[in-house]
Amino acid sequence: MQLATAPRWQRCLLCHQTAWLPHCVCRLCLQQLKTLPPPCCTLCAHPLPQDSTVTHCGACILNPPSFDSTIALFEYCNLMKKIVNQMKFEGHCSVAYFLGEQLALHIQHQCQSDWAYIMPVPLHTSRWRTRGFNQAHLIAHALSKRLNIPVNTNCAIKIKKTAALSRHTKNMRYQYIRSAFKVIQRPAQHVAIVDDLMTTGATAHTLAQALKSAGAHRVDVLTPIRVLNMVS
């Protein structure tokens, strides 16, 4: 598993040029990846209209999520989809480390990071076994290294085996993921949960709800990628 961030000769996963790179994506391709245009909803990180005077989007006002904020960086554009697929289906775990590092730089510039620890969204053990790694786990480790905050993987487990949620509508996702997690350790008061991408927020909502029922006061979500325009 190559997670080193020291520059070395490697092929960019997007343009396939070989260059002296600190990451699996070259500088030119990194510039092509779309970042979320501010202002964004402070709860779910969905972009708001430019002239917006509110801090929350309509969806969060109607149905407030159980987490308290989301920090996201990239939009799920076609190029991003290409590298996410290389991570998920071709085993390029260096992508997870690249995403974690980029998100950590964003957090260092933009926000306070006073979490007791960060915890990757747990993967059901059977899924972990087939994929060989949990990308949220790798992203959390990259964040931890840059931000100097510990990772906790012992607080919660995934008890419900769920299929990929990509074809579900927003409401179906919320129903489907319900009761998927079990908290097995009393959580700290202020924690951050990490996922590789956020679509509707149903997964983060369910996990944050479980953590708050077990005693957490504030749960923030950290995700490198926000998928937009999900039909509700």
Tokens of 54: 């509110």
Under the binding rule (CB under 5 A), the answer on residue 40 touching Zn ion is: no
Under the binding rule (CB under 5 A), the answer on residue 60 touching Zn ion is: yes
- From residue 75 to residue 94, what is the string marking binding to Zn ion with x (rule CB under 5 A)? --------------------
- How distant, in Å, are the alpha carbons of 48, 70, 77 from that of 14? 29, 27, 13
Out of 21, 23, 24, 29, the only residue in the binding site for Zn ion (CB under 5 A) is 29
Under the binding rule (CB under 5 A), the answer on residue 21 touching Zn ion is: no
Applying CB under 5 A, the span of 56-64, 83-91, 138-146, 162-170 interacting with Zn ion comes to 56-64
Min separation Cβ 184 and Zn ion, Å: 30
Are 125 and 84 in contact, with CB atoms under 8 Å apart? no
Under the binding rule (CB under 5 A), the answer on residue 26 touching Zn ion is: yes
- How distant, in Å, are the alpha carbons of 94, 123, 131, 132, 197 from that of 88? 11, 13, 8, 10, 12
Q: CA 230, 87, 47 angle in degrees (round to 5)?
A: 30
Residues engaged in binding Zn ion (CB under 5 A):
12, 14-15, 26, 29, 41, 43-44, 46, 57, 60
